Chains A and B, each alone.
Chain A
């Protein structure tokens, strides 16, 4: 750890059973936050502040005015902006010591495994059942722990699923609710209303569970469902047991694989692999960003250059190779980047 890191994280390093070792685990950790709404905004602030070294952020939505009473990373001047970029800006202002990787896309069956496979922990901060079940299935397939948070008006849930550390039996969301509910049975925040502080409370607890999973400090809600009603402040913790009808257990794994398109799954982590730098304009690259990539449009290169890590080799790309060649020249000659390459082929060949 560097001197300014000792200072920045001093108050948690001082904690009993935490120390430098736990801080280093956080700095080396990769967490994927799926959903940058109420839960995501809350959890992200504390994950970033705590020094989680690499935070991926998946969301396809833009900031609207009805988000602002609870999605506290965004300001009125962010209205109309993509949430992942507005969030990245705020989080890097809070803590430039970490890497934020925005994925301006929906977490869906064609990209879910690819996105998740590069991370150590997933945070389910979504607001629809389809994505929640997909996250559960992807995590089951890849064996990745999920910190789940969910809301209903004044009430919230927190749980940890698929945590197999220390010989634990991994429990999944499908062990509580085996099948996805029909549409309209349980409405979302936009239909049903939600108290602004509730995602704040739940997201903060999700961040706490993620930090405990990563550092090994304390005991997580693995295999338990925690509930709160902020009208009464009544809380309860329920034990979850494996459900024999859970489709993700044992022999049904094949069925799971057929439900998830995982032709692009890469479970191997390669920290030394080049970081992909997409220098196209955001409107060109909004469909499906590649994992392990950052978006730095050429015309904003000077403004955003501090987001490009200097300790990674870079692979720049655009549509034809022209803009990435120019960007590579600027990075090498003006900013002194050493390991810069340009992807010669068009983007279509690697997506």
Chain B
């Protein structure tokens, strides 16, 4: 146990804290699998969180709030997609500039809504809730976003591995010229992937301001999350399951940081709030080293290892970050 937290409480908090990050990282995975890096994540998360909170507050509807978050995300997706796919500009440059712009835009436009009460998504009761043992009750009483995040992991994994559209999307990320030769439209597919991904990032942002850290302010509490999401996708090997596991690990670090605070009163709480970020990034970098070694060992003929390889496969789409110009 960490500090005052009991195990069920710990699991419950980790699940809750990981949900928005999972959604955000899955959105980025979608875009990157098609070959486009959307580096604007950090700002977009805040922008969407602000838009979601403002709309939810004005309309008093959580659903409209989430939709607004998604649309705000998609709006930035239009810019990233248009600039990098159609104007062939550096994806890193566009993403970085947009990230800072969105962050400041969120602070500026959200200013009147700072530190006020708004609608909050509470944890919902499952139908068979009362018949469960109390520890499970604690774990399973979660807001809808948690279930959404878990569902999305399955959906995205299925989409990439088994659907025709997912295969087309992956093919564009690997070799856009060959996809074009086979009658696909790489630019269109990339644009759709970026828009879809940005929509998910927006939903993830909304999950912060409407559920995990309700309300708006400067700082909101979701600062830096976008960067973690990006790192998760890249070091998680563009694999939805690994990405989700990484997000859970980050949530665990954050939650246990809060728990550990009580054990070490000498260390200021700010250190505990910051610590998960470098810890996470260096954990990812470390994992990246160990997996890159095992990846070189080549292809295995055993069926089980094949399955494991498929579930946790990690490799960069070959066309990642380069814009494709039709001849």
Do A and B come from the same complex? Answer: no
